[in-house]
Structure 1
Amino acid sequence: MKGFVLGGVSSGVGKTVATLATVRALGNAGLDVQPAKAGPDFIDPSHHARVAGRPSRTLDLWLQGESGLRRNYARGEGDICVVEGVMGLYDGDGSSTAAVAEALDLPVVLVVDASAGMESVAATALGFQAYAERAGRDIDVAGVVAQRAHGGRHERGIREALPDDIAYLGRVGPDDALTVPERHLGLHMGDESPIDDDALDAAAEGLRTDRLVDVAREPAGATGATESADPTESTDDAPRVAVARDDAFRFVYPATIERLRERATVGTFAPTAGDPLPPCDGVYLPGGYPELHAASLAESPALDDVADAAADGVPVLGECGGLMALAESLTTVEGDTHAMAGVLPAAVEMRERYQALDHVELRATRDGPTAATGTTLRGHEFHYSSATVDDDARFAFDVERGEGIDGDRDGLIEHRTLGTYAHVHAERGAFDAFCDRL
């Protein structure tokens, strides 16, 4: 599957809007588009999925390794893949947009804010191209999308200033309707605050789909995708995993669900809607926004059911928001305290600013649901909460990179329940280990 990477000159330049407009433009041209996101993000991909009609793939060298990244790309479907970058093109030491493009040998389409420039857009693109050569990076800056650019003389000035080897691929005009509201952890999710379809169609009209298709190419060193098991073909003796999926538990990589379905029968439940925990051999509580739904969670029978299952020895994995739900209590930023499942000896409190944001590496100090003693896991953390733990709390991991729960350790463990601030990806084997323990 051919593809290209939309890389920004910086954070906040409008990569997500440019990506959505590109997906819409290619779709309107009759192409089947596979969206993807460089970096460990759950929110931007929710907007991708709404516009493209299929899940967005996560591409991150730190989380997946080079072979895992290529494999995850290959598991995508469609005629063409549009990869949205993270931060600025070269920013990020764990897995930058440039590193992802380089690993896949995909061309970069540079998103440049043209609201106050014409020839300077060309100068910016040339600078990003020259930096790759100077740094010895194999980065092909193949074209430019001018963000917030007007038509007429403005567009013409940008196009004419670009050198022959950097293609002008169109513009996204300034439009307040293309703005997505923000909150802590980033933008609103795609189904909460979708971009107006008419505005997106108008933005798509400014892009040159024929040139975008010409720029795209097949990735180098592609790894064939493994076949995902069809969940309808699960045998009666397959272990059953219950996955929380609702407004409080939204942060799940598609590859994680795919991997679980290869090893188990997956069922979902919605704790904030009052769903009980279905019969299962294991429970996965992913990240999300439990702080926004703390009252509903406190009243839900699901948390009591999870606590009972944990006490009975059922493996339970909680990531970030899942850790918060497994704690004894959750205090919102307004100061309201709500009882949670009470499985893990911790009190969680929301803060005004983020407490951690980075790729992480953890080393297991004891056997747990996702790793054996001495093995390492790589993941990502981004949270506004902090956890105060009891003196006798037991941890599963030492933190080699990142913050974890207390700066040195992560992974509270009780019974066969693990709660961690780190989100991990299926390519690193954590969910295989989890299924092996069911």
Structure 2
Amino acid sequence: MSGRGLLIAAPRSGSGKTTITLGLQRALVRRGLTVRGLKCGPDYIDPAFHAAATGAPSANLDSYAMTDRLLGRIAGEAVGAADIVIAEGSMGLFDAVPGPEGHTGASADIAALTGWPVILVIDVSGAAQSAAAVALGCKAYDPRIRVAGVILNKVASARHERLVRQGMDRVGLPVLGALPREASLILPERHLGLVQAGETADLHARLDALAEAVAAAIDLDAVIAAAGETTLPAETGRDAPPLSPPGRRIAIARDAAFSFVYPHVEAGWRAAGAELVPFSPLADEPPPEHCDACWLPGGYPELHAGTIAAADRFLDGLRRFAETRPVHGECGGYMVLGRTLTDADAATHAMAGLLSVETSFAKRKMNLGYRRAVLEADGPLGPAGTVLTGHEFHYASIVAQGEDPPFAIVSDPHGSPPAATGSRRGRVTGSFFHAIALATPA
């Protein structure tokens, strides 16, 4: 078996996609298969869990922010290295933003591009035969895709399962398995999603427990048989990275406060010849002096603001680094580059002061959505006028923007007026915008 894949999706968020995806990935690995995971949409956390479950790298497929060439490159690398790809959808299967067909951000776009059949995870709590009507709607809604079967989640009893199966039989959808409600199988969460893989206690024991539960409740042979051959664009574009490397040797913050970096971005930088050198601000490490650029990713600095404020070697080293070399911060990294960060307890902590912005996690408001950014000046992500696709997802608020000019002008898919975002001063730039790819084909 090679070059085959499946997309695990659901009619809505909260149905149990991630839990079942991880259980399937781990269970198939335990059967001796080489498995790769992929995640639809702009998600930093789930690919790390896929990597832990499979023992192999994972990445994102984002139909809004990526060209077909880049999507084909990422999917092709995964299927070329695996017996089977188990990809995970985001939100509901058809949830999307306005855009050309195939580039709306919907998980269904990825199924259509790759040819992978869809297995629907249906949360049947509070429903019986009516769950089949929902599944039938998903089966018929988009003629580009094929729903190969369903997995029932949160089944209350044997009788409940029989009633749901009767409905699925009526609409001609195979039931590949049924999992009971089991709170111990739920992974811990925080405000941006699951607690990160590296912070989850007894992660591999939890994944093994998921695998055992899935293997007991789901017909793994049927899942394997449902996988389909992969179809990819003829041009997969191996000539350019998704984002230009900000330097040849990049100091990249990496610890519990700074971890949100897309695997395809790091892989693209390495393929372009850049070296990534990790360092830990939480361990009071400064950016390594032999690097020629510094990248502060997003993450959870609001949970570690006191530690960061007391990390004098890190902050002083970052300030010295910025005197001669570019520094860029995304989301949480942007907050640390600012003057102050107010945590959830309303305590205000001094940050690097390299930008004039002041942020607060005490004044929380969710900001979420795709963005298209046009750079206002030359910088580590490209020359002025470079167009990037990406997204924002944060609860922190800006309480004072300060006097710095903006990093970029952003627009969204919904027709909102373009707006300035982020800050720049000297060689330092930052914003809440997470870059996914260049808007031009790559």
Instruction: Please tell me whether residue 127 in structure 1 is matched to residue 131 in structure 2.
Output: no
Gaps of 5+ in 1: 230-237, 433-438
Instruction: Please tell me whether residue 42 in structure 1 is matched to residue 44 in structure 2.
Output: yes
Q: Determine the C-alpha separation between the residues in 1 that align with 2:34 and 2:350.
A: 46
Q: Which residue of the partner structure matches residue 261 of structure 1?
A: 270
Aligned residues: 416
Q: Is the 8 A contact 1:290 1:325 kept in 2?
A: yes
Q: Is the 8 A contact 1:248 1:272 kept in 2?
A: yes
Q: Is the 8 A contact 1:328 1:346 kept in 2?
A: yes
* Other structure's SS at 1:112 match: strand
Q: Is the 8 A contact 2:390 2:437 kept in 1?
A: no
Query: % of aligned pairs identical?
Result: 37
Give the C-alpha shift of residue 240 in structure 1: 1.4
Q: Which residue of the partner structure matches residue 167 of structure 1?
A: 174
Q: Which residue of the partner structure matches residue 232 of structure 1?
A: none
Q: Which residue of the partner structure matches residue 232 of structure 2?
A: 221
Give the C-alpha shift of residue 199 in structure 1: 4.7
Alignment of 1:382-397 (within 5 A): 382-389=393-400, 391-397=402-408
Distance change >3 Å, CA 14–CA 54, structure 1 → 2: same
Q: Which residue of the partner structure matches residue 101 of structure 2?
A: none
Instruction: Please tell me whether residue 176 in structure 1 is matched to residue 192 in structure 2.
Output: no
Give the C-alpha shift of residue 124 in structure 1: 2.0
Q: Is the 8 A contact 1:360 1:400 kept in 2?
A: yes
Q: Which residue of the partner structure matches residue 8 of structure 2?
A: 6
Q: Which residue of the partner structure matches residue 147 of structure 2?
A: 141
Q: Is the 8 A contact 2:4 2:230 kept in 1?
A: yes
RMSD of aligned alpha carbons: 2.6
Q: Which of 6, 17, 25 is 2:19 aligned to?
A: 17
Instruction: Please tell me whether residue 91 in structure 1 is matched to residue 95 in structure 2.
Output: yes
Gaps of 5+ in 2: 98-103, 242-246
> Could you tell me the TM-score, scaled by structure 2's length?
0.87
Give the C-alpha shift of residue 221 in structure 1: 2.2
Amino acid at match of 1:298: A
Q: Determine the C-alpha separation between the residues in 2 that align with 1:323 and 1:4.
A: 37
Task: For residues 197-251 of structure 1, give each alpha carbon's deviation from its aligned partner in whole angstroms, at most 9, with x where no partner exists.
Answer: 335412332111111111111222255585999xxxxxxxx93111110000011
Farther off after superposition, 393-402 or 195-204: 195-204
Q: Determine the C-alpha separation between the residues in 1 that align with 2:225 and 2:364.
A: 43
Distance change >3 Å, CA 278–CA 428, structure 1 → 2: farther
Q: Which residue of the partner structure matches residue 337 of structure 1?
A: 348
Task: For residues 45-97 of structure 1, give each alpha carbon's deviation from its aligned partner in whole angstroms, at most 9, with x where no partner exists.
Answer: 22222211223210101221222112111122321111111111111214011
Instruction: Please tell me whether residue 297 in structure 1 is matched to residue 326 in structure 2.
Output: no
Give the C-alpha shift of residue 181 in structure 1: 2.5
Q: Which residue of the partner structure matches residue 307 of structure 1?
A: 319
Q: Determine the C-alpha separation between the residues in 1 that align with 2:67 and 2:239.
A: 20
Q: Determine the C-alpha separation between the residues in 2 that align with 1:145 and 1:227.
A: 40
Q: Which residue of the partner structure matches residue 115 of structure 2?
A: 105
Amino acid at match of 1:126: L
Q: Is the 8 A contact 2:69 2:237 kept in 1?
A: no
Q: Which of 286, 290, 298 is 1:287 aligned to?
A: 298
* Other structure's SS at 1:338 match: strand
Distance change >3 Å, CA 204–CA 150, structure 1 → 2: farther
* Other structure's SS at 2:215 match: helix
Q: Determine the C-alpha separation between the residues in 1 that align with 2:436 and 2:66.
A: 7
Q: Which residue of the partner structure matches residue 86 of structure 2?
A: 82
Q: Determine the C-alpha separation between the residues in 2 that align with 1:285 and 1:247.
A: 12
Q: Determine the C-alpha separation between the residues in 2 that align with 1:25 and 1:153.
A: 27
> Could you tell me the TM-score, scaled by structure 1's length?
0.88
